Amino acid sequence: MRKTVLAALTLLMGVALAQAQSPSADELNRRLIQSRAVEAVIWGIPAVNTDLMRQEMLTKTPGKVGQVIYWGRPLDWHNQTLTPNPDALYFMVFFNTKDGPVVLDLPPGDANGSFNGNIVTVWQMALEDAGLLGIDKGAGGKFLVLPPGYTGSKPDGYIVLQSDTYGGYMLFRSNLKSHGNADVQAAIAYGKRMKVYPLAQAANPPATVFIDVKDVDFDSTIRYDASFFEHLDRIVQEEPWIDRDRMMIDSLRSLGIEKGKPFNPSDAMKALMSSAAKEGGAWLEAKYDAGLPPFFSPTSRWTYPAPPEVIKAYADGFADMNAYPLDGRGLCYSYAYIGIKRLGAGQFYTNSIRDKDGEAFDGGKTYRLNVPANVPVDQYWSVTH
């Protein structure tokens, strides 16, 4: 009898303890929302990265979608994009095909200049590379960006690019012969030979507007706070769902982001989103610190600029139905921007975040980089930090 009572008491105590330790329904929901918000950060970072740059243009410069902003001198601290390079002049144009196809009419490389360009969607999915080592092989050409679901005619004489989003942008790097003023002005003049206009106005294109933003504090670094989700909501409202991303519809709806509905999170939800954004950012930073695959040898400190599976996905337009490297893509767009169709053709990057002893670089120390003679370069090369 005593054993039976003791067993019963033990069972009751175990049930009570389990009930006390079980999270409430509210706590379970909070945990789910938090985890979904973290996943949304990792998934959404390429588009948020794009929108941050676009919003900087729209709010800090006179520039508009369909116009060209450019930096009229080699980049300096005023440009706080994620991978600025001081050895080419940057031109950037955001386009929107919601009202119809858009033409990016790009100049040939000649004695007066050359360029290296990339055309991407809002998700920074590479549509095509252009310039000396792009699809045009330096001949320039009229690149025609088509909107999602386009069924109209495709005129002859264009390099046709089918986009799965309405919005996107082009990064056009006008190559510099030197940082001297005459060469800078020549590179600006060359860049201004491009034209941007709707296909509907191709017979009589309007003049392209160019705006020098060299003195603007242009800061598009990722904000790992609740504002991240404001940018993400803007993308959801403006763009169609891509088939491969439809699994995010319910996840985002649980965060209050739903197509056709206002995004108005409560203070509690904003606090949760801010926490999730910080967590997502910390995870991406830890993944970056862990390092990318070595390039030269298994022990080399130099690595590829992005995970190989991401490079492959961008080259073939995510054609592999058994792969969708979201984590690697999120990592890439936490420290860089732009999508490249053929990495290694028009440009190639190697990356190192550690010294020869495997220690992280320290801004308070001095390092020496040994570069062999006769660097194999056709356009320009540089070291950035």
How many residues are there in the chain? Answer: 385
Report how far residue 265's alpha carbon sits from residue 288's, in angstroms, rounded to the nearest whole number. Answer: 31
User: How many alpha carbons fall within 13 Å on the CB side of residue 158?
Assistant: 18
Which pLDDT value is given to residue 291?
86
* Beta carbons within 10 angstroms of residue 223's beta carbon: 16
Secondary element (H or E) of residue 68: strand 68-70
- pLDDT tens, per residue, the chain with 385 residues: 555 555 555 555 554 555 557 889 989 989 999 999 999 999 999 999 999 999 999 999 999 999 999 999 999 999 999 888 888 999 999 999 999 999 999 999 999 999 999 999 999 999 999 998 899 999 999 999 999 999 998 999 999 999 999 999 999 999 999 999 999 999 999 999 999 999 999 999 999 999 999 999 999 999 999 999 999 999 999 999 999 999 999 999 999 999 999 999 999 999 999 999 999 999 999 999 988 888 788 888 888 888 889 989 998 999 999 999 999 999 999 999 999 888 766 667 788 888 888 888 898 999 998 888 888 777 677 777 6
Burial of 89 (0-12, 13-18, 19+ CB in 10 A): buried
- Type of residue at 47: A
Report how far residue 330's alpha carbon sits from residue 48's, in angstroms, rounded to the nearest whole number. Answer: 11
51, two tokens = 């929108």
DSSP sequence for 136-172: TTTS-EEEEEEPTT--S---TTSEEEE-SSSEEEEEE
Helix orientation angle between 326-335 and 308-316, rounded to the nearest 10 degrees: 100
DSSP sequence for 21-48: HSPPHHHHHHHHHHHHHHHHHHHHHHHH
pTM above threshold 0.85: yes
- CA nearest neighbour of 192 among 167, 215, 169, 209: 209
Which pLDDT value is given to residue 59?
98
- The alpha-carbon radius of gyration of the chain (Å, integer) is 25
Which pLDDT value is given to residue 116?
93
Report how far residue 285's alpha carbon sits from residue 277's, in angstroms, rounded to the nearest whole number. Answer: 12
Which pLDDT value is given to residue 377?
75
Which pLDDT value is given to residue 196?
98
| Cα–Cα distances in angstroms (integers) from residue 250 to residues 41, 47, 223, 255, 257, in the given order | 15, 18, 24, 9, 9
Report how far residue 116's alpha carbon sits from residue 171's, in angstroms, rounded to the nearest whole number. Answer: 8
Which pLDDT value is given to residue 7?
54
Report the DSSP beta bridge partners of residue 70. Answer: 91, 212
